[in-house]
């Protein structure tokens, strides 16, 4: 086997099959994938399925706290988890630039396999394309996922109600800040790493106890600001944040201060926003804090009736500020 990916690895012929066997089947191995059919065949019970897709184009491919493979599994698992689903199956599509090192591809596959196994998810379908040098930047990964939504769960970005509390499951801005530092050669020394994590274990520890919670959304691109604006808009409510309650790591705050950026607008890859009736929000918070991915959970705001479709923030100074949907180009290729 050569050291680098060649166009022949994407031809559908012998080298494609060798690559699938030696990298993907080797790491992802399960009874469904190894059948090598045109589609994976899944036995399902009657009920509600969650289905989602996400592409990952992050640069750099390897970063502090993860790599594109771990991110691709976490991202889709978290979208399923945000719908209240138990994630079960993933499909992954690789677009690889000619000359990408096979050793790095194997590292990425191993990382995907480990992350998937960690949340009980099987990678059951895959596809590999190779493009000429310069036609893509190293590697892009799409993951699509299927999960099962337990009965009685009704989570939607349209469900926020006045009186609800807004919870975040930990510190904000870690992923965006860490990628910014890795990429921009700013000469800033800070030990910030991506929060990249699969959250289905965390949400699964809360949902059976609090099936009545209203909204979950993972605040990735566009950060907490974008996710809350989406929810405010879809639910027709106002969301008020308390700046003094936002959990932000000191070093993240420091870097953001230096660069004139705001953690509220920075991507997270291991955090969930949860909106729930106030009477159960304290119980949810206690439960979240018991989980390794929820230790820094906090109630960061509340849902009001008006001004509808708006996100406001009560600042440290005690004033009110509108938190807009981000509108310019944020840091590209953050996920």
Interface of this chain with a second copy, residues 3 to 22, rule: CB under 8 A: 6-8, 10-17
Considering the complex, what minimum distance in angstroms separates the CB of residue 248 from a second copy? 19
Sheet holding 273-277, edge to edge: 215-217, 273-277, 164-168, 298-304, 238-242, 310-314, 320-322
State which of residues 25, 49, 188, 304 lies at the interface with a second copy (CB under 8 A).
Answer: 49
Rounded to 10°, the helix 102-118/68-82 angle is: 30
Residues 120-139 interacting with a second copy (rule: CB under 8 A): 124-127, 129-132, 134-137
Nearest-CA neighbor of 291 among 316, 277, 274? 274
Q: Which is nearer to a second copy, 37 or 305 (CB)?
A: 37
Considering the complex, what minimum distance in angstroms separates the CB of residue 306 from a second copy? 22
Report the first-to-last Cα separation within the chain, whole angstroms.
30
Identify whether the C-beta of residue 218 lies closer than 8 Å to the C-beta of residue 79.
yes
| Helix H or strand E encompassing 215 | strand 215-217
Task: Give the CA radius of gyration of the chain.
Answer: 21
State which of residues 2, 3, 31, 38 lies at the interface with a second copy (CB under 8 A).
Answer: 38
Q: Which is nearer to a second copy, 93 or 211 (CB)?
A: 93
Residues in contact with a second copy, shown as a per-residue x/- string from 251 to 290 under the rule CB under 8 A: ----------------x-----------------------
Residues in contact with a second copy, shown as a per-residue x/- string from 219 to 258 under the rule CB under 8 A: -xxx---x---x---x------------------------
Is residue 30 a contact point for a second copy (CB under 8 A)?
Answer: no
Cα angle 42-48-49, degrees, rounded to a multiple of 5: 45
Residues in contact with a second copy, shown as a per-residue x/- string from 301 to 330 under the rule CB under 8 A: ------------------------xxxxxx
User: Does residue 334 come out as left (phi exceeding 0), alpha (psi in the -120 to 50 range) or beta?
Assistant: alpha
What is the distance between the alpha carbons of residues 190 and 180, in angstroms, rounded to a whole number? 11
Is residue 83 a contact point for a second copy (CB under 8 A)?
Answer: yes
């Amino acid at each position: 086997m050569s050291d680098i990916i060649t166009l022949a690895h994407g031809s559908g012929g012998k080298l494609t099959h060798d690559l699938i066997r030696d990298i993907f089947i080797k790491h992802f191995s399960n009874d469904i994938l190894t059948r090598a059919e045109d589609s994976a065949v899944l036995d399902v019970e009657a009920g509600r399925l969650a289905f989602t897709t996400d592409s990952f184009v992050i640069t750099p491919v390897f970063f502090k706290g993860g790599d594109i493979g771990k991110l691709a599994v976490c991202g889709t698992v978290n979208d399923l988890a945000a719908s209240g689903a138990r994630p079960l199956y993933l499909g992954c599509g690789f677009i690889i630039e000619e000359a990408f090192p096979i050793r790095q591809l194997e590292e990425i596959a191993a990382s995907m396999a480990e992350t998937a196994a960690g949340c009980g998810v099987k990678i059951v379908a895959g596809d590999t394309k190779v493009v000429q040098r310069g036609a893509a930047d190293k590697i892009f990964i799409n993951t699509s996922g299927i999960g099962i939504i337990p009965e009685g769960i009704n989570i939607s970005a349209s469900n926020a109600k006045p009186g609800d509390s807004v919870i975040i499951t930990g510190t904000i801005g870690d992923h965006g800040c860490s990628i910014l530092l890795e990429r921009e050669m700013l000469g800033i020394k800070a030990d910030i790493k991506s929060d990249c994590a699969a959250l289905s274990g965390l949400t699964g520890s809360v949902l059976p106890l609090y099936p009545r919670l209203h909204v979950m959304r993972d605040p990735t691109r566009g950060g907490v600001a974008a996710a809350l604006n989406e929810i405010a808009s879809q639910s027709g409510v106002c969301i008020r944040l308390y700046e003094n309650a936002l959990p932000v790591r000191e070093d993240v705050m420091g870097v953001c201060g230096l660069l004139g950026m705001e953690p509220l607008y920075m991507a997270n890859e291991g955090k969930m926003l949860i909106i729930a009736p106030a009477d159960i929000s304290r119980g949810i918070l206690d439960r979240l804090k018991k989980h390794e991915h929820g230790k820094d959970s906090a109630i960061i705001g509340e849902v009001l009736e008006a001004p509808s479709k708006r996100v406001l923030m009560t600042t440290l100074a005690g004033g009110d500020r509108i938190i807009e949907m981000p509108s310019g180009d944020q840091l590209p290729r953050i996920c």
